[in-house]
Structure 1
Amino acid sequence: MNAKTLDAIKPFLDWIPLIVFFYIYKTTEGEGSEHIIAATTGLLIATLIVYGLMFVLQKFTLEKRQWLVVVLTVVFGGLTMAFQDDFYIRLKAPIINAVFAFGLAMSPLFLGGTPGIQKMLGPIFEMTPKQWMKLNWVWVGFFTLMAVLQALFAFVWVEYWAMFTAFGDMIVMVVFMVAQFWFLRGFMRKDIK
């Protein structure tokens, strides 16, 4: 599989473990957190299979973000299964989003004043340093919002947590991305248009 094809399917592969989790969560019967424990088992297995496949397809490497997802899924999924308590798996998404927010917020300190979002989107968009910094803070805000939403659904609106994790955050993300690229379309590099 060539790199272009792999880049095109990566976003879809990322959702497979969540879809497996949601399917098992919704179709498994049990009392208390039994269905979450079963779904977590499916999530762990699917995560290891998907990212194992990606590891091989990406020439025995994973991106930092992919490693973060795998490690946190294994750690929190493992804790969930070891203690038979769904509290730990519910921590995963808020922590991942908080780490992304923190990483972007701190990125100018570690990247010589360059915001992390510029490192990611620089090949596509042309902006002034001030605009890049503003965009970086928009993304920090987005990941902070996602962390807060994930925490609310995980610990306040628990009955809707699996649904939000599988679909709600995807909807919020798609809306954000569409709005983001709508506003950024005027900054697209001339050689890309």
Structure 2
Amino acid sequence: MKILFDFLPIMLFFGMFKYAEGNKEWAASAATDWLGFIVAGGVVGQTEAPVLLATVVVIVATLAQILWLKSRGQKVDTMLWISLGLVTVLGAATIYFHSESFIKWKPTVLYWVMGVALLFGQVVLKKNGIQKLMGAQMKLPDPVWARVNLAWVGFFAAMGALNLWVAFNFSTVAWVNFKLFGGLGLMIAFVLAQAVVLNKYLQDPEKPL
């Protein structure tokens, strides 16, 4: 359930982009009416309108997530605050300059921030972020937790690089598809592969590393 909540802004971004892409005349008119006062030149064309409208939706959705958690007295993860900051700054640049290049950097920056945070925690602070997150659900030897943490560091580094490769070597439509289906699919595949590997340690905690 949590993964659906985490991916909700991306799903809404995808939905708005696809709708606007299929109704470009409406999208250009709506984007000009709604965003003209903060867009350079005051007019949004049909080419850039879908991604600009989708960007507004993802900013609002991310903010709504935080307000929802706050209203229920729940803790807002640091990464969600960082995500809001990134999507607001890069999204504002995308809207103002009529350029999707800025918002395309957002997933990469977020992936790399998460990877650096995990690596810094393990190497400098001697704290394992993944163990802290998942330690209540499973018991593993400390060396295994260290490997799991580094595996996530590598995954986030690779995902950040892959996002840039898709973003700047393929069409915006292809990137939007990858952002949802590729990102979610690779995340699920990585988690499942990791579960298979870790299962042997859960069954036999004394198993040699």
TM-score category of the 2 structures, normalised to the smaller one: 0.7 to 0.9
Identity score, percent: 26
Deviation string for 1:64-94 (max 9, x for gaps)?
Answer: 1211221211121122112222111111000
1:139-178 mapped onto 2 (5 Å cutoff): 139-159=152-172, 160-178=174-192
The answer (yes or no) to whether the contact 1:125–1:184 under 8 Å persists in 2 is no
Distance in structure 2 (CA, Å) of the matches to 1:135 and 1:108: 11
2:55 is matched by which residue type in structure 1? T
| Aligned-pair CA distance for 1:142 | 0.7
1:23-172 pair list within 5 angstroms: 23-28=15-20, 29=24, 31-57=46-72, 59=73, 61-111=75-125, 113-159=126-172, 160-172=174-186
CA distance in structure 1 between the aligned counterparts of 2:143 and 2:188, rounded to whole angstroms: 25
Give the match for residue 6 of structure 2: 14
CA distance in 2 between partners of 1:170 and 1:154 (Å): 16
User: What are structure 1's unaligned runs of at least 5 residues?
Assistant: 1-8
Partner Cα separation in structure 2 for residue 131 and residue 177 of structure 1: 15
Q: Match for 1:141: what amino acid?
A: G
Cα distance in 2 for residues equivalent to 1:165 and 1:73: 14
**Does structure 2 conserve the Cα–Cα contact (< 8 Å) formed by 1:94 and 1:146?**
yes
C-alpha deviation, 1:163, in angstroms: 0.4
Q: TM-score normalised to the size of structure 2?
A: 0.78
Deviation at 1:60, TM superposition (A): 6.0
Residue 3 of structure 1 corresponds to: none
Q: Is 1:185 the counterpart of 2:177 in the alignment?
A: no
Distance 2:134 2:203 in 1: 11
CA offsets 1:142-179 (integer angstroms, 9 cap, x no match): 11111111111112223411001121110000001111
Q: Which amino acid aligns with 2:11?
A: I
Aligned mates of 2:19, 2:150 — CA distance in 1: 40
CA RMSD of aligned residues (A): 2.0
How many residues matched?
A: 180
Q: Distance in 1 between matches of 2:144 and 2:196?
A: 15
When normalised by structure 1's length, the TM-score is 0.84
Paired amino acid for 1:53: W
Task: Point out 4+ residue stretches in structure 1 off by more than 4 angstroms.
Answer: none
Q: Is the radius of gyration larger for structure 1 or structure 2?
A: 2
